[in-house]
């Protein structure tokens, strides 16, 4: 139980750091050819001149989903910290609440990443554009959230439940 909570909290924290770094940086899509172009979900830069990205619905959807994912992950981290205080409300332990929030966070993050990937895949396949480190940090964050959720749910399952069965 303790091991699952430690792994869950560690993966949640790493996921938060990687995800936030990926979300805030501008190296999702890059073209190193003529014109040196790179963009994130907030701005795009060409020849060191950057401009805010507006008018693209898929970027707005990606932003909203990734922000929602980050908020869910922060609440999961709070519940994850409460696991060390043996917090529970009836059958709901802090581990279960942390795992649930992490599952929701992973769902929102993965949907946001899929939306971005589907909308930009034609650029990568048909030109000299490539996905870069910010994009991959967000995908890695999704994997770590999934590991954290699994750890917390397994920790919840191994928590002894009060009731007549334990007497």
DSSP states along 123-166:
HHHHSS-EE-HHHHHHHHHHHHHHHHHHHHHHHHHTSPPPSGGG
Structure token digits, residue 98: 């942390």
Give yes or no for residue 93 having a pLDDT over 70.
yes
Give residue-wise pLDDT tens across range 104-140: 999 999 999 999 999 999 888 888 889 999 999 999 9
Q: How confident is the model at residue 167 (pLDDT cuts 50, 70, 90)?
A: very low
Q: Into how many domains does the chain fold?
A: 1
CATH of the domain at 62: 1.20.140.150
Residue 136 included in any domain: yes
Residue 36 included in any domain: no
Mean pLDDT value across residues 40-51:
91
- Predicted TM-score (pTM) above 0.85: yes
Q: Residue 100 is part of which domain span?
A: 2-25+55-158
Residue 163 included in any domain: no
Residue 127 included in any domain: yes
């Amino acid at each position: 139980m303790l091991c699952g909570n430690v792994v869950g909290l560690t993966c949640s924290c790493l996921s938060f750091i990687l995800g936030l770094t990926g979300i805030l940086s501008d190296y999702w899509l890059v073209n190193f050819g003529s014109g040196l172009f790179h963009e994130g979900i907030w701005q795009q830069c060409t020849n060191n001149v950057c401009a805010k990205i507006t008018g693209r619905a898929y970027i707005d959807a990606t932003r909203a989903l990734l922000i929602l994912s980050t908020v869910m992950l922060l609440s999961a981290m709070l519940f994850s910290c409460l696991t060390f205080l043996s917090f529970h409300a009836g059958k709901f332990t802090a581990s279960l609440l942390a795992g649930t929030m992490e599952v929701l966070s992973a769902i929102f993050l993965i949907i946001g990443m899929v939306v971005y990937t589907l909308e930009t895949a034609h650029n990568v396949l048909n030109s000299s554009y490539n996905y870069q480190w910010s994009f991959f940090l967000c995908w890695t964050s999704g994997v770590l959230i999934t590991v954290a959720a699994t750890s917390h749910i397994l920790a919840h399952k191994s928590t002894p439940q009060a009731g007549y069965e334990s007497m």
